[in-house]
Structure 1
Amino acid sequence: MNLSVTSSPDVLPASADQIRAEIILIAGATASGKSSLALSLASEITTAGRQACIINADSMQVYKEMQVLTARPSNEEVKKCPHELYGHVSAGDEYNVGRWLSEVQAAIARAKNAGQIPILVGGTGLYFKCLTEGIADIPNIPEDIRKAVRARHEAEGTYACHAALKAIDPQAYQRLEATDPQRVLRALEVYEATGRCLSDWQSDPVIPPITAPMLKILLTPSREWLYARCDSRFEAMIAEGALEEASAMAELGLSDTLPAMKALGLKELLALENNEISLEEAQLAAQQATRRYAKRQMTWFRNQMISWNSISEQEYYNKTSYFLSNIIKMLDPV
């Protein structure tokens, strides 16, 4: 259930007194301020005499090795409010949306049992889409098949693996980029394990895992504001230890196909670690990659989250306190 809230913090819907949310979802591009907003909302909920639990919905912030690189909440921030599904996965794990869905449902249940309001926050649109709309029930991939597909990739490369999809899954071949090994290999694994292509699995009817009333908030800041924050945030990351994290990741010797290796800035800092580029070049390249990624996120959100409540930075960032007080009025009463 999607609860409507006006795009202006000054006015609530006429039916606000009858509408009550049990779960709050906050989605936004990288550097949009969503984590800060979630903390502020949790504080406002506490002030109102309730409790909240912030639950991660970002595919990169699950990795324990990269707190700075993934802009995971700091240790000090975590102490202010219960946090779930942050930094609990090894970078060497094949973490995916199916595993997250299982874990997030358990986290939501724990929060509700503890009398806490779940606040799901993150920038991974696919996580939110699968949570609110459902996901194909694809069987787990046997480890021997997974290893065989990975070995094929090592021997033939991503482009050859992508070309192989043309015969077994034409839709995936058209949809997936040849430069995206994670999704290409996933499509191959599914076919090898089930004898049915991924596109067919994804066309099956699905049931949303969570049907409780949700307040869906999508942060849609101006491009200029967002890009400036992307640039300044990476500069702050360098100062806070991003180089050291990248160096530690290099020592793990992980495959480039692992999801964790997609962390923003990691590729550039690894190149710096190998003396391939200078610090200035690494910073400029990482900032550009971050801006481009934020642009792709915003495009995806606009196309896939049409029913969500879009809020600009003038509303959630410049008038935070007043905006949050109105959100509190829309929560399910005790």
Structure 2
Amino acid sequence: MTSLSDNKAVLIAGPTASGKSALALELAQKAGGVVINTDSMQVYHDLRVLTARPTPEEEALVPHRLYGHVDASVNYSAGHYVRDAAQLLDDVRRQRRLPIFIGGTGLYFKALTRGLSVVPPVPDEVREVVRLKLDRDGVEALHAELARRDAAAAARLNVRDRSRIARALEVIEATGRPLADWHAETSPPLLPEGSYRALFIAPEREALYARIDARFETMLEGGALDEVERLAARGLDPLLPAMKAHGVPALIRYIRGEISREEAATIGKADTRHYAKRQFTWFRHQLPEFEWTSPEAARGWVRPI
């Protein structure tokens, strides 16, 4: 059996609370690796506890990169991530260390292994105009505008999908081209086929859901409420990715006195379980090259070097 450390890069994916971080940490310790975040929420500095980022003690054991390096006010995208990962990968390879990409964001893994559509960054002033329209006129009006300017995109999107409707309008406003045109143009992958080993950690569903619920309670007791309270006080755009992290909207409603703590926890747990279910489905259909394994079997790949 080939050790994971025999590969040029290792990709460890899986649903939230599946034990990915512990596996990556153990592999990095044994193989002299660098743990590289591949989770779209763990990039945010403001949400260490609620996104279950590695603890400072864990980060001190081996190098951890692309964790908590982005402010919540930034609309961090897959394009931003690939640019950061490309620079980091060059550094890791120069050091002759094993890059270990670990996380649960399927789009980031797909961008690493398949390439990414080259959508130019949207200027802040364009984004602000579109978001003002959204607040003033409502999502249905924006969907109608999108239907006039990009009928194909409007037909694909749910009329209530605020984020994606706004994004499609921002791109066509900034570039004059529909989002689908940009998606047809793809950059080369950072990790082409044959340059990596990819695992998807797939725990038994009921056990995973029980772990998600228990972990959410632990996060609440461990400072997540304080994090969200500080975040809410900043008055950021609710459409920013960090403001939509699992648990954040419900906990903000609790902080404002709109719902009870128990109701907020119930919503946060349910949102996280639903997300885990979507992660299983997404990886099965979008990245079939990932090897599916149980958490127990995955540990068999981590052997002393």
1:306 aligns with 2:288: yes
Give the drift of 1:234. 0.1
1:120 aligns with 2:101: yes
Partner of 2:81: 100
Which deviations, in whole Å up to 9, do the C-alpha atoms of 1:194-245 show, x marking residues without a partner? 1110012112354223337111111122211211111111011011111111
Task: Give 1:217-236 correspondences, 5 Å limit.
Answer: 217-236=199-218
Which deviations, in whole Å up to 9, do the C-alpha atoms of 1:286-326 show, x marking residues without a partner? 1111111111111111111111111123423xxx2x3312x
Partner of 2:56: 75
**Partner Cα separation in structure 2 for residue 237 and residue 271 of structure 1:** 17
1:323 aligns with 2:301: yes
**Partner Cα separation in structure 1 for residue 23 and residue 163 of structure 2:** 31
Partner of 1:44: 30
Aligned with 1:172 (options 128, 150, 153): 153
Give the drift of 1:96. 0.6
The aligned amino acid for 2:182 is W
Secondary structure of residue in 2 paired with 1:287 = helix
**Partner Cα separation in structure 2 for residue 230 and residue 33 of structure 1:** 11
Secondary structure of residue in 2 paired with 1:204 = coil
**Partner Cα separation in structure 1 for residue 24 and residue 139 of structure 2:** 38
The aligned amino acid for 1:268 is A
1:276 aligns with 2:258: yes
**Partner Cα separation in structure 2 for residue 314 and residue 209 of structure 1:** 29
How well do the aligned residues superpose, as a CA RMSD in angstroms? Answer: 1.9
Task: Give 1:16-35 correspondences, 5 Å limit.
Answer: 16=2, 20-35=6-21
- The question of whether the paired residues in 1 share the 8 Å contact of 2:38 and 2:105 is answered with yes
Aligned with 1:145 (options 96, 104, 126): 126
Paired positions, count: 303
Secondary structure of residue in 1 paired with 2:43 = coil
Secondary structure of residue in 2 paired with 1:65 = helix
The aligned amino acid for 1:306 is P
Query: Higher mean Cα deviation, 197-206 or 216-225?
Result: 197-206
Task: Give 1:173-188 correspondences, 5 Å limit.
Answer: 173-188=154-169
1:265 aligns with 2:247: yes
Aligned with 1:244 (options 226, 229, 233): 226
**Partner Cα separation in structure 2 for residue 176 and residue 100 of structure 1:** 24
**Partner Cα separation in structure 2 for residue 114 and residue 98 of structure 1:** 25
- The question of whether the paired residues in 2 share the 8 Å contact of 1:20 and 1:213 is answered with no
Question: What's the TM-score once normalised by structure 2's chain length?
Answer: 0.93
Residue identity over aligned pairs, in percent, reads: 43
Which deviations, in whole Å up to 9, do the C-alpha atoms of 1:52-108 show, x marking residues without a partner? 111111110011111001111111110011011111111011111111100011111
For the structure 1 residues 221 and 179, does the alpha-carbon distance in structure 2 shift closer, same or farther, using more than 3 Å as the test? farther
**Partner Cα separation in structure 1 for residue 160 and residue 296 of structure 2:** 37
The aligned amino acid for 1:192 is E
Aligned with 2:70 (options 85, 89, 99): 89
**Partner Cα separation in structure 1 for residue 149 and residue 104 of structure 2:** 31
1:297 aligns with 2:279: yes
- The question of whether the paired residues in 2 share the 8 Å contact of 1:182 and 1:259 is answered with no
The aligned amino acid for 2:204 is S
The aligned amino acid for 2:234 is L
Higher helix share: 2
Secondary structure of residue in 1 paired with 2:259 = coil
Give the drift of 1:182. 2.6
Partner of 1:216: 198
Question: What's the TM-score once normalised by structure 1's chain length?
Answer: 0.86
Partner of 1:197: 178
- The question of whether the paired residues in 1 share the 8 Å contact of 2:118 and 2:186 is answered with no
The aligned amino acid for 1:30 is T
